[in-house]
Every structure is written in structure tokens, then in C-alpha cells.
Amino acid sequence: MACISLGQRRLNREFKFSSKIELTRRGRRLLLLSAAAAVGALFAGRSAMAATETWTTGPSDGTWNDDTTTNWTGTDIPPITGDSIAFGATTGPTTLNDDLTNSAFTLAGIAFNSGGASYAIGGNAFSLGGNISSAISGSESISDAMVLSAVGVTQAITNTNGGTLVLSGAISGAGTLSFSNAIGSVPSGLTILSGSNSYSGGTMLTFGTLDINNASALGTGPLTISGNTAAFDNASGSPITLANGVPINLSGSANSSFTFVGTNSLNTGSGTVTFNTSHIITVNSSTLTIGGVLAQQSGTLAGLILQGLGTLAFSNSTLTGTVQLQGGGIPAANSVTYVNANTYMGDASLLLDFSQANSPTTNVLPGNALTLAGGNITVNAGGAAGVTQNFGVVTLDAGYNTFNVTGSNPVNIKFTSFASSFENKDGLVNFIIPSNATYAVTTGSNESLTFAPSANQSAYIATQNGTMSWASLTTGTNAGTIVALPTSSYISPTGTSSFTSAANIDMSGVPTLTFAASGAAFSLRYNNPQSTTITMGPTTTASGG
């Protein structure tokens, strides 16, 4: 007789087998097993019957590797590989130590049950064979290193009661993590990824908010954001640029909404950002930078609609479809049409960033037609010298719009032409022109951009050398360059003045201005706050602003 002793304390018994086991039926031999094979079959059956072990309401300490019933209740005390574990106690230690020493230890799942305390779990690494769920309204954290399942296995991380779940340990393996933070179908709750992760199966976000608080938080696989209520953030305390070239896929139905909370700025890194249809991106604060190529799925009519008070930035974007940016909280439904590959600026901020290492020297954003309705466009010329940003036909629709340049390197901003269909739209464009920037209209006659003096001179102004003036187009060798109307084009009266012929008037230091009976003025310019008394004649006319 061969004797095999199973000395694991949770079994607490001895099994004895003969060297051979013969099972016969009606005189026939059906099965022959060696003793070792019999033991293997016993363990295989035990593993297939994985149990759920529950942390008790009155544990003696915070250690997992306790073989009494003080800390755990269930079939296995302490848990063995293949078990699931659950936490729901409201008393006792809440800082727990995973001191199980089996290097191949696998948990089938982890559950934080409703009504339980806020636990902080740390200690030894383990493999995660299933899901993690939290049903509490407080905060839970796991700092252990975790190894995910195999390729093609999606492991759900769910947060169903508005709480916060922090995963700060290094996550590796080939599995996919799927995040959902919602109470029923209402987004609620937060999951935080703050470890330096290397898992390769990708990340999926469908409901609620995912904090990306480490440059490698998303591992090496793609991030897919779907649904209509997903949000992501960087709350790490400083700006982050995603590592590993993680691709980002925006998926869902037309006008699906995605929100970047913007506690700190986030750069998507070198990975391609792909969208399958028109999507609304709300940037609440800070800056969300699309660092890689911006692409649409083949055969789709796609666009990005920007809302919120933050800034959407592009540092290396190539786009073949429609880009439309609408901001300031303006409702997006049916307010923007997808025609002619326009870039639509509606009270939004758009940064075209040439300063990054992978930035092009021409056209961070393709030279599409541009519609302005209160947009602010900034070109960062901090990278290579001599960069160029082209725009197509520009149409002024409404609002106060600005073009600005930051950075000290030379930059050329070119417009095909300016549409003349802006009359009575109450729109204004301010070209802020530092010494290193050149703005120009590249085609058509000078009349393609209507400047002072004319009936529409209030549409375009220029701030150059710190002084605001009406914008003007040069003629001659550099015809079409946008500059501020020169000082010589203004009359600068002193004291009390009376005018009978139309003029652009510089009101600096003028306390009183009197017009003759049929006096006229193109415009009055104030560069500083002041008090002025203006007396109009019976038929005084003003054709500017």
C-alpha cells in the first residue's frame, strides 16, 4: 500500500491509496489509475468548485493568511487559489495585508459589498482571473500588483453605488479591463488608475469617470470610449502625456458625448485617435491635447464638436474628414451642419501646437474652410522656425473671435479669402500680431477682406505692437498682408474738436468732441478707459464703429 498524505491544514485529513485502483463492472476492467493520477483528479475537482470567502465582521487583525475563522468565513480558510473573496464588514481593521505567499495565487474575483467599510488592500501580487466590483459609496483601494487573464478575456471593473475605486498597483498580463461606474443606467462613481501598468489587452470605458493618473496607466493596448456618458480625467496633480503610443477609439452613435474633466491637463501621446461618427467632446477645464494623428474610420462622415470652457489642442493632427469645434456650453443638437469639411469655432478655444517634438512644420490642422462664431484660435510657434498654418475660406458668423500667436519662432498664418456674408451678424475678428507672426490673404483681390473705411469695417481689427486698430491689407510687393491700420490713417484731435468730414478719430486724451451739423466719422478709437462728451450734429453719420 502506498501512502499519500495531504497535509494542507484546511483539509485536515489523510487519504490513502493503493498503488493501483481498479474499477470493474460485470467482470470487466473499466479504468486503471495510478495513485498520483487519482490525487491530480481530486485537485482538479476541488479547483472547479471554487468558493467565495468573506471577510468577517470581527477580524483579529488585517492579515489574509489566517487559518482560523476569525478573519474569514467560507469553505477555505484562508482563501486558496481559484477562490473569490468578498468584503462587507463595517467593523474591524480596514487596512488589509495580502500576505498569502503562493506566487501563483489566483483570485477568481473581488467584491466590495453594499454597506461595507472603505478598505485599503496591499501586500503580495496575485493573478486576477475574473472581475472586481464595488457596491459601496465610500472609497476602496488595491495597491497589490495584479496579473490579468489571457488574450481575449475581458475583465469587468464595476462601481455601482457612486463610490471611488483606486487601483494603484502595477497591472500586467494580456487581459482587457472594462470600466463602468454607474447606479443603474445613471453614471456615478470614479475609478482611478495610478499605477505604472503594462497590460496589453486594452481598456474599455462605458459609464462614469476614469482617472488616468499615470503616463502608463492604460498599459500598451487601446483605450475605447463608448456609450454616451463616459468621462475621463487626469487628477494626478500635474500634466501627463500618455506613454506607449496607446491608440484611442471614440465609439458610439452620432453625437455621443465624451467629457474630459480637466483637473490637470492631459496629452494623448503619439497614439492615433480614431472616431467613427460625429462626437461631442466637452473639455471642462485645463487642456486636452490630441498628440497623435486624428483619424476617422473609413467611409464615415465624422466630426468633433467641442463644448466646455477648457481647451482642445492639436500638436500633430492629420484629418481627412470634418472637424467642427463648438464650445462655451452651446447645445450641440442640430446647431452645426457637416458640410464642406468646415472647422466651426463657436465660443471655443483651439490650440494649434507646433512646439512638440512630433509636430509638423505645416498645418497642424488641415487647411479647411473656417466658420467663426466666437472662437479663439492660438498658434504655438515654439517649435521649428518658419512654420505655416493655412486656413481656407473664412466666414464670420457671430461673436468676438481672435487669432493669436504664442512662442517666439517665425510663423505664417494664411487665409484663402474672407467671405462677405457676415453683414448684420454682429461678428468681430481680432488678429493679434506679434513681431514674429505674419497673417496674409492668399487669393483674390484686396476686396476679399473688407476693412476700414467701409460699411463693414467693424468686422476686423488688429492688435499690433500693443495697440488695437482697424485691420488693413497691404498692397504692392507683399500685397494681402494683414496689418493694423497705420497711425497716419487716424486724426488725433486735442482738446475740444469739431469735424465736418469723415475720418478715423483717435480719442486718446480727448475730453470733448463736437460734430458739425452734417459731420461724419468712420470710427472712434479708444485704447484706454476714459470719459468723453460727444455732441452730435443733426445729420451726423458714422460708418464704422
Secondary-structure percent of the chain, ordered helix, strand, coil, rounded to 5: 5, 45, 50
Q: Indicate the residue type of 298.
A: S
pLDDT number for residue 18:
39
pLDDT number for residue 200:
96
Higher pLDDT, 144 or 360: 144
Higher pLDDT, 329 or 183: 183
Q: Does residue 148 surpass a pLDDT of 80?
A: yes
Q: Is 212 left (phi over 0), alpha (psi -120 to 50) or beta?
A: beta
Q: Does residue 321 surpass a pLDDT of 70?
A: no
Higher pLDDT, 41 or 426: 426
Instruction: Pick the closest to residue 73 from 91, 59, 93, 94 (CA basis).
Output: 59
Q: Give alpha helix (H) positions in 73-150.
A: none
Residue range 527-543, pLDDT digits in tens: 788 888 888 766 655 55
Cell numbers linked to 340: 464642406
Cα(460)–Cα(446) distance, rounded to whole angstroms?
14
The predicted model gives 106-122 an average pLDDT of: 92
Cα(65)–Cα(388) distance, rounded to whole angstroms?
64
Instruction: Pick the closest to residue 427 from 395, 451, 405 (CA basis).
Output: 395
Q: Does residue 318 surpass a pLDDT of 90?
A: no
Residue range 469-510, pLDDT digits in tens: 888 888 877 788 898 888 788 887 765 556 656 678 888 888
Residue range 401-413, pLDDT digits in tens: 889 999 889 999 9
pLDDT number for residue 320:
45
Instruction: Pick the closest to residue 193 from 226, 160, 157, 224 (CA basis).
Output: 157
- Peptide bond before 453: cis, by omega within 30 degrees of 0? yes
